[in-house]
Amino acid sequence: MRPHVLYCTNKICVSTGKSQTHAGNDCGRKGGPKHSEWVAKKKSEAEVKVLEDPTVAVCEKLYVKVDTELKALADAVPESVKKSVKNLAGKIVGMFKEGLTLDELQSLMTNDTLLGQRMADAVDLLEQQSA
């Protein structure tokens, strides 16, 4: 005779119909006993991805610079762009990541004049799109 298995009773698992796919003591969802292990695994996977793609690390640093510049120059950004884009710094850095090489991204980190020009170009493009 097989031992009785206590299926997961986590609200998330039950609401998605996945409660009978694993035992309660193996649940990796939020609130489950293995959740902290699951989070640690996901964090390590994310760190590996960052190590594999150097543009991610450069873009994270670039985001901080762009965000700081945008806050300093808040009056220069048109209202139409502010309304249409929730995270303007993220949008601009995303545009940089899609259109520039790693070397060009790194040069933006060291050349504030070039960064300002590229940011102005990006804001102009966003303004044209929002019009």
pLDDT in tens, 30-66: 565 566 776 777 777 776 665 667 888 889 899 999 9
pLDDT tens figures, 12-38: 666 666 555 555 566 655 565 566 776
- The answer, yes or no, to whether residue 99 has pLDDT greater than 60, is yes
Of 45, 75, 83, 69, the C-alpha closest to 117 is: 69
**Of 74 and 32, which is predicted with more confidence?**
74
The domain ranges of the chain are 11-45, 53-130
